Amino acid sequence: MHYIRPHQQRGHANFGWLSSHHSFSFGQYYDPSHMGISNLRVINDDQVAGGAGFDPHGHRDMEIISYILEGTIEHKDSMGNHFLIPAGDVQIMSAGSGIMHSEYNHHSDQALKFLQIWILPEEQGITPRYEQKTIAQDGVLTPLVTPNGEQGSLSINADASLYRLQLAAGEATTLHFPKRSGYLHVIEGDVEVTSEHGQNTLTSGDGAGTLNAERIALKATASGVQALWFDLAPAERL
């Protein structure tokens, strides 16, 4: 892979109620060598204390995805949506021309863990939009978010698709993405990644990206692996 992002080297912010690890520059954490991959701009690995959360705040022209790992998010927004999003669900919000929202840990007695993902939009100024869905794993690679909502996935206003990758211990697969960019974020377990640039072993929280490649080969170790795979727009730089 062109780019390896070890989990222990990520940016970190701790506000007491929130512990957040940033794969790419975000907020007060800035590193010009870690600004995202293609149109993938943010992956924050967030842990929110019981009953705490993000007060109402605004966004514009960003595709914002939440992938819930543990607990339940309580979502409210200026479009009138008020939903609970449990572990395993996927949420997407197209901020478009502007939206206000809040995200809280619905439970007072347990932590909320989720991945906050931002992707640059294909079209700016669109009408804000909200969706969430429970998507069961179907095979090795299951689409969660795609431009056209393919195979029951959520739709996104971006040249990007997000998949959940799951391999049992010792299982292998090859991802093909001719002349596009890609990024792999490991949720749990370990996986060997082989590309034209060599082989690397990734573990929980690690990431790896490549630009305009052809394929990468993946093989889970004895623990198996669950990860997110981003199929991204072609790009000139990491």
All residues at 6 or more sequence positions from 217 whose CB lies less than 8 Å from its CB, including other chains: 172, 173, 174, 175, 193, 194, 195
SS3 175: strand
**Angle at CA of residue 211, ends 183 and 144, nearest 5°:** 30
SS3 (DSSP) at 45: strand
- 3-class DSSP assignment, residue 16: coil
Is 101 annotated as ligand-binding? yes
Q: Is 197 annotated as contributing to ligand binding?
A: no
Position of tokens 């959940």? 164
Cβ pair 49, 18 in contact under 8 A = yes
- 59 appears as a binding residue in the annotation: yes
DSSP-assigned letters across all residues of 66-96: EEEEESEEEEEETTS-EEEEETTEEEEEE-T
Q: Under DSSP, is residue 228 helix (H, G, I), strand (E, B) or coil?
A: strand
Taking Cα atoms as reference points, which of 147, 172, 142, 169 lies closest to residue 160?
147
User: Was 7 annotated as part of a binding site?
Assistant: no
Q: Decide: residue 208, CB within 10 A, 0-12 exposed, 13-18 middle, 19+ buried.
A: buried
**Which residues define the annotated binding site for Fe cation?**
57, 59, 101, 103
**Which residues define the annotated binding site?**
57, 59, 101, 103
